[in-house]
Structure formats: structure tokens, C-alpha cells
Structure 1
């Protein structure tokens, strides 16, 4: 817990440094780009690292209330996963993105089956097989791109793609589309989403809360690769993923909303809320504008923390309802109805996008980011209708969990102080995102502008020769 708190302080200091002084990069072993391993801290990556650190502190506090004692090596595995997530956000090299993917996935395999159980083992097998398949495709795509471009440094790849010979276009396009498949699998985009509900709903509460940020790594990779490498200067390869991502994102929103109203237990419902947020973010990535990127970043912070809090609330409710657990059926009254009911109501309002919480501002930014009339009609209709379905699903779940009471008196364990603190810590982010909406939206816009300013990034990482046609 102390180490997670110290990390949060350090990453906030680093974010402020990057915001004031611009992009910061670190060449490990002093081997400069494009040959060495480069870690890059820009505003976008640092906001996401701050999000991960904030989330990790809440999850580790909740886990330290007793969940960590139900299995072996919870804390080192947790820290390894945080390291992998942070590394994925900070790497400036596609091969090392693969390496950090593997670090976080290996830790997640063990965390998923923490404390054991049939459902966890079954979900873990599916999760491992799918991710190993995705890793194999990732390696094939990297081999194709490296064989064609001679580099895997992200900004260097962007320079090479801008002057790509016509005979290499199809090879690079095939490698780029294979990357899209891998990142879509990591983000759980339709039709590669079927692993997520079972995996997230079977994981222990602090693990599921940390997993809330893992789908955002896939979203971040899509945004980074298809803005920097295959962005405005990519010629015929510009925006090659948009035609696939927009319909896939909209379909994922619809599927997630249907899952919310049809879920038979509360954990599955929250897992489907993650799908709704994933689809929304993928649709924003497909729009390929600074405005949509800024809106996506704000919505990422909001949705990740609120869904993580809901996973923790689901566990608290499950522990106090006896055999009914978190199933959406009548059961015993929870031991702390006022506390848990208030936390549920706050989280439900935030995730559904009701004012005055952060979900409302996030949805408003998303809708305003859609500028093309054709896309506006489609996206507004899907997002608003599915928001209505989410409100209906959460209202049904809340009335069932807290009002449909049967059986004996309330029994079960009261929430430990650390558990209550963890939930409040994560939910506190929603009103704070509203109170500081002005500077935070400016920060999101700054991150989006920096993301699209590939020339400045290339000069900072590769040197001044990068934009002059010479060998750096």
C-alpha cells in the first residue's frame, strides 16, 4: 500500500513535469532511438499511468483487507501487473509493447485464479488460450513490419511509412491490420469480446477492479498506432482501420447494453458495462480527430474508475446477502443497506451518465466530438439509446438487490474500513472530475494535440535530422 501511494505521488510529479516541459524520453542504457529501448512520457501516456496508479492504490487497499490471504503471492503478482500496464503505456517501441503485454498477462493469469475455484479455472483457461493466440498474431505482425520497415520504434516507423515504396504497401497494410486484430482482442471489441464477461465476473474483487484498466491498454494501442504510424502522413495507409473500428465499436456498445439488461448477476452486469465503455472508446478512436481523442481520454478516466468501484461494491453486496450472493434474485437483506445502497446509487448515476457526476460530462464531450452529420446521427442514436438501456438495467439491479428481500434476517460480514475506504477512494474521482472539469478537459485537449503532433515527437526522440530526410 505504501509503495502504491508513493508511486501515485511520483507519477503525478512526472505528469506535471511533462505538462510544463513537453515530451520526455529515456533511452535505456543510453542506446538512442531507433536502435535502443525507448520509454516515452507524453501527456497522454502519463494521464493513463496516473489513472493506473490511482486505481491500483484503491484495489490494493481493498485486497489488503483479507482478500490477499486467500491465495499465494497476491502482492508481488499485483505489482508485476501494475509494472506491465505502466510499461505498455510508456513504451516507445512496438516490440517492447509486446514484452509489456506479456508481463502483465503472465501476472493476470495467476491473479485470475487467485483463491481457486472451478469458475475461475474455467475462465482462466479461455483467457490464457485467447491471449496466447493474440500474442502469436502480434509476433507475426511485428515480423512483417520489421522486415519491411527495418524498425519497430513507433516514431521511426511513422517516418518510414510516410516514404514507403508502392511495392511494400500491401505488406505493411497486412501487418497493420494484424495489429488491429491483436489490439481489438486485448480491448474486447466485437467479435473478440466473448472472453471478457466470464473472466471479469469470476475474478476476485480487487483483481477485477485492476482489470478494468486492462481493456484500455488495447484502446490506447489502437489510438497510438493508428494516429502516429498510420496517421495523417501515412499516404494510402492513412486511416486504414477506421472502416473496421467504427462499426465494431458501435456493435460492441449495443452488445454490452443488451448484456447489462439481461445479466443474471451483478458482477456480469458490471463486466458488460466495461464492454459498453470499450465500444464507446473504439468509436471515438475511429473518428480520428483531436476532439474525439480528448473526449476519449476524459471518458477513459471516468469509466475505468467507476466500473472498478462497482466491482468492489458487487463483492461487498455478495458478502452480505447469504446464498443469494450477487445474483439478481430476492435474498436476505444486506447488513449495511444505507452504506451499500448509497455507494451503489452514486456509482450507478456516474456510470449511466446522469448529471451532475462525471459520466454526464464525459458523454457530453463524446457527443460534441462527433462533427460529421452522418456519423452524428448514428453515434448519437446508439450512445443515447444504450445509455437508456444501462439506466434500466442498473435500476432493475438496484431494486432487486436492496428491495426484494426474502428469507431470514440480515447476516454476513460488515465491510471492513479498508474496503469502504477503497470504494470511496475510487468513487471520489467522479465528483472531482466534475469540480476540476475545466483544467482536466484542457489537459485532455493538450494530450490529444501532442498525440497528433508527430513531427515534434520525432524531433525529440530521433533528433533534428528526423524531419530533414537524413539518417538520425
Structure 2
């Protein structure tokens, strides 16, 4: 193996080492713990950039841990899709880390940095793994870390939402194990590439169980993605947690969508018999309802964090609509939109954090307040984040929605997709405009209590501004980004290449 092949394990091994080292050092020597944590973020980002560059040769690479070849050993797989998601996760985590340090949010508990890197370990592992059981393991790692991060800073509402979040995910994990048990009983393997080969060879007598296993598996992924009707946990959980944590969580629902994109064309594609494209009948209605419920939530939200949470839900619904088509062009549009949706959702939470720290007792409530220091800057950042989230020009959300509309035209159900995207965009515009005018432009009542918060430096605007600059760059280089999305989609929709890369040409 070359050095570039060994680099594939870096996004998993670096946070796995940094997390316990940061835990051991943070309580006694905070400066050392911060240095370790920063070094972990920098190393993970550098590895993700390098892997993204390596993936540009359009090859699919397989890394067998311990030199145990597939399907018997643990396998990591790098292609354009996984490399892109690794890069997005590394950029987002670095920006969130900076915001946590600048605002002092990490000081609410010494466990923040270890949990932060365990979360990154789970996310990166989910993007790289080539085995369904290890996907389950990495899901559990990121979920266990998210339980602690969700409760970071304490609070009764946070604890109440956290209990519901834990219960929902325990149920999801149980269903995941049932699905894995069924698949292993049918095929005697959980390696994704080997599973694809064996599923295609199953006889008619096994098709019923195979379909049940496929439905259970995609239901679990839909639960992780907060797809309607499995979405009820998301608004309360994301609105209750600290905004800096919720900004990192913006990528977690997209991990569920990624898992669908990774497994359905490969394992449950055209060769899967009765289980072919198993989630197709309900995925489009779920996406439509998710977009509608999400943007209606944006319209009626009473707080900035609640509004950002519903915007994340709306973006997942919008994303599922082109994914449900299961065609290369629509999938490319979905991948482009997914990247911008992650950054836009995180930016909304970080802007909410910077704003509520300046509004004192008014916090993030969508009500007029006396003027506060930095109000104009916060208002402009909110405006830009809202434009990106709702999909208006000139930012990249508009480009993403145009790509979805173009790719879905003339496919079954296209009128519903078009009507939903155009209608929910209008609802989102009204919702963000209503909130923005109340928060930043309306004058408070003359007898309103003065703001109790102390003036803050503007350093906490750095992180949301960085995400918005990245969204602007995606707009400027939309042609290049769209080409990357098309190349990634082409690999996903050609499962034979993935199978050959993992199992060898003989299979």
C-alpha cells in the first residue's frame, strides 16, 4: 500500500486518539487540552483536504485494516462522495470549534472537547466504512457523543429534550440490529460490496425477508435523517441544545441521508429483485411533507434556535425529493444541495448564538428589543444565512434548488416536487422576513426593559461569517461544484465499480 492509501484511516484514527488524550489533560491543564483538541481539528482537516484531492482521479479505493481482505475484515472505502463528506465535516467541525472557544461555550463542562472528537470519529467513520455492522458501530459512537454534547451546559429543558432524543435513538438502534440480523441470516455477510453480490443471487423464497430487511434498514436511516413522520424528535432537541452544539448537529441528519445514498443503489438497486429501490414509494412523500412542515415551522417559530431547527428539517425534506428519484442527475443535484444545506443550517445556529448573547434577557425570542451593540452586523449575517437556507439568489441555495428543479423535470411526480419547492420557498421567505424584521429592524416599546447583557467583542461573528463566505464561494464556483456532484453521483449509480474496488475484479 502507498502512503496515500494509509492516509484513508487518518480521519478515524486522529479523533480516536485526540478524544481520550484531551479528556485526560483538559481537567488539569486546560491549555494543553486545547492544544491537543486544536491539533486534532487541524490534522483531520488536512487529511480530509488531501483525501479529497486524491479522490479527484475518479478511482475508488479500499483499505483493509489489519490486512484482512474483504469481506472478512474491516474495510474503509474512499470515493468522491465519501471524500466530499469528509471535507464538509472537517470544515464544519473546525469552524464550530473556533466558535466554541471564542464564545467560551466549551467552558460549560470539561467534557466538551473529548465528546466533540468522539462525535467527529463517529461521523467520519460512517462516511468511510464499507461494512453495515461497522456503520452501526460508528452510528452508536456519534450518538453516544451527541447525548453528552446535547446536555452540555445543563438545563431542565435540555434534559427533557435529551431524554426523548436518547429514547428515539435507542429504538432506532434496536431496529438497526434487527435489520442487520435479517440481512446476515439471508446472506452470511454484512460487507456492503459482498452484500450487493449475494442479494442479487438470492432466490425467490428469500425475497420477502429481504424486502423486510431493506425497509427496516431504510427506516432507521430515515429516523436518523429526521424524515417525516420520524421527525418529531428534531425541533425540540436542536432548539434546546446549545447553539454551538446544534451547529455541529446540522450534519447529523445528513449522515442518515448519506447512508441511504450509499446503501440503496449498491445493495437494493435494480438487481435486488423484489427489494429493488425499496424506499422509493414513501421517500418522495416523506420529502414533500418534510419540506412543508419544516418551512411552516420556520414561519411560526417563536425563537431563532427553533427556527434554525425547522430550517434543518426543511432542508432534509428538500434533499429527499431528488434522492427519491434515484437517477444520476437528480442525485447530483441532491449532493450539491446537501453541502450548502449543512453550512446554511449551521450558520443559522451560530448567528442565533451571537445574537442571543447580546440581547440579554430577550435571548433569541422573535420579539423587538432595545437596540444592542453589533445589531447591524448580526442582522446582516442573519439575512445572508436566511437567504442561503431558503434558497434565494445570489447564494448557493438558489443554485441548488434550480439544479433540483431541472433534474426532476419530467420524472414521475415532478409537478409535486416543483410545487413543493416553489411553495415552501415562498413560505420560508415570509417566515425569515417576519422574524428578521422583529429581531433587527422593529423598535421596541418605549417601556421595554433595557438589555441586561454586557457588550461583547465581535469575535463571535467570525464563525458564522466564515460559513457564509464558504456558501458565497460555492456560488461563485457553482460550475466546478456541480461537476464534482455529478462525478460523485456517477460513481454511486455505478455499483459495479464499488464492488470491484472492494472485492477485486474476480467478483
TM-score interval, normalised by the smaller of the two chains: over 0.9
Deviation at 1:318, TM superposition (A): 1.0
Give the Å deviation of 1:408. Answer: 4.8
CA distance in structure 1 between the partners assigned to 2:457 and 2:137 by the alignment:
37
Residue equivalent to 1:86: 124
Would you say the 8 A contact 1:335–1:413 is kept in 2?
A: no
How far apart, CA to CA, are the structure 2 residues paired with 1:79 and 1:186? 20
Unaligned runs of 5+ in 1: 467-472
1:450 matched to 2:488: no
Partner of 1:269: 307
**Which residue of structure 2 aligns with residue 469 of structure 1?**
none
Q: Which residue of 1 aligns with 2:278?
A: 240
Residues 361 and 453 in structure 2, CA contact (< 8 A), matched pair in contact too: no
Give the alignment of 1:182-261 within 5 angstroms: 182-261=220-299
Farther off after superposition, 220-229 or 404-413: 404-413
* Corresponding residue of 2:6: none
Q: Is the 8 A contact 2:193 2:266 kept in 1?
A: yes
CA contact (8 A) 2:119 2:145 kept: yes
Q: Which residue of 2 aligns with 1:440?
A: 481
In the alignment, which residue of structure 2 is the partner of 1:25?
A: 62
Distance in 2, matches of 1:203 and 1:288, equals 34
Deviation at 1:324, TM superposition (A): 1.5
- Secondary structure of the corresponding residue to residue 428 of structure 1: helix
Deviations 1:29-75, CA, capped at 9 Å, x for gaps: 11111111101111001101111001001100011120011112111
Conserved 8 A contact 1:158-1:229? yes
| Greater alpha carbon shift after TM alignment, 220-229 vs 117-126 | 220-229
Q: What secondary structure, in the 3-state scheme, does the structure 2 residue paired with 1:250 have?
A: helix
Question: Partners in 1 of 2:370 and 2:99 — Cα distance?
Answer: 24
| Aligned partners of 2:62 and 2:76 also within 8 Å | yes
Where do residues 108-187 of structure 1 align in structure 2 (5 Å cutoff)?
108-187=146-225
Match of 2:96 in 1: 59
Give secondary structure in 2 for the equivalent of 1:39. Answer: strand
Give the match's secondary structure for 2:77.
Answer: strand
- State the SS of the aligned residue for 1:40: strand
Give the whole-Å Cα distance in 2 for the aligned partners of 1:109 and 1:385: 35
Report the alpha carbon displacement of residue 4 of structure 1 after superposing the two structures with TM.
1.3
CA contact under 8 A between 1:322 and 1:332: conserved in structure 2?
Answer: no
- How much has 1:410 moved relative to structure 2? 5.1
The residue that corresponds to 2:322 in the other structure is 284
TM-score, normalisation: structure 2: 0.90
Deviations 1:299-344 (A, max 9, x none): 0110110110110111111111122211112223232112111111
Task: Give the drift of 1:369.
Answer: 1.2
The alpha-carbon distance between structure 1 residues 328 and 382, as it changes in their structure 2 partners (threshold 3 A), is: same
Contact 1:317/1:334 (CA < 8 Å) preserved in 2? no
- Return the offset for 1:418: 4.2
Displacement of 1:454 after TM fit? 1.1
Q: How many residues align?
A: 466
Checking the alignment, whether the CA contact within 8 Å between 1:144 and 1:175 is kept in structure 2 is: yes
Pick from 47, 62, 76 the counterpart of residue 39 of structure 1.
76
RMSD: 1.3
Distance in 2 (alpha carbons) for counterparts of 1:239 and 1:285: 11
Structure 2: distance between partners of 1:387 and 1:334:
30
Equivalent position of 2:335 in the other structure: 297
Please give the per-residue CA displacement for 1:136-193, whole angstroms capped at 9, x wherever unaligned: 0100110000000111111111111111111111111111100111111100011110
